[in-house]
Each structure stands twice: as C-alpha cells, then as structure tokens.
Amino acid sequence: MEHPAFISSKAYQIFVTELGRHLATADSVFALPEPEPTAELRKLAGVFHTIKGGAGFFGLDRIAELSGLLEKRLADVADTDLRELRELFLQLKQASEPVFKLRES
C-alpha cells in the first residue's frame, strides 16, 4: 500500500499520536460498568469532537463520521444508551486500525 504524502507530515504524526491517546481515554471510560454520566461521558464528547476535527482535516472520513456520531450521542447524556455507544466506539477503533498500521510501515 502506497502512503499518501501527508502520512510523513509532522501534523499527521501528531494526530495519530493524539488519536491513540484519545482512544485509550475512551477505552478506560467504556470499560467501567456504569460510567458516571455527567463527568465521564461528557468528557468523552470533547474527546470525540477533537478526533472528528483531526480526522476530517486528514480526510479520514469514516473515523470523522463515527466520532461525530459518538459526540452527538453524548451531547444528551440523559438519553445515552451505553450499549450503543460501546458498539459505535468499537467500530471507531476498528476504523482507526489502518491509521496506526500505516504509521508503523
């Protein structure tokens, strides 16, 4: 697989590093049996907003789309279905795997 030109850019490398950090943060929250809605879940809305912006900038459409869905679902924590959020997050992690593989190769 040929690397797009931006893969070697400093900004992209920073994005990938931050993506890993943000996914780890979300992973730790979703691993909790019942995250505290007003604190933990609202914090994640900001995390997914950040991922969405960076992914959109680099043309990573699926990652941006899933991050946007998660951000939107977390906007109203009262109506949050944790199973749905966990499923969307799993899809986001899977969509992110090629990004990390490209960086390693």
For the cut 50, the answer to whether the pLDDT of residue 60 exceeds it is yes
Could you give the CA distance from residue 25 to residue 6 in angstroms, rounded to a whole number?
26
Give alpha helix (H) positions in the chain.
Answer: 10-30, 42-57, 61-75, 82-104
Could you give the CA distance from residue 74 to residue 42 in angstroms, rounded to a whole number?
6
Q: Which two structure tokens, joined as six digits, stand for 78?
A: 């009262």
Task: Give the pLDDT mean for 33-58.
Answer: 85
Q: Which two structure tokens, joined as six digits, stand for 86?
A: 């966990």
Q: Where are the domains of the chain?
A: 8-104
What class, spelled out in words, does domain 8-104 have in CATH?
Answer: mainly alpha
Q: What are phi and psi of 55, to 5 degrees?
A: -65, -40
For the cut 60, the answer to whether the pLDDT of residue 3 exceeds it is no
Report the SS3 class of residue 105: coil
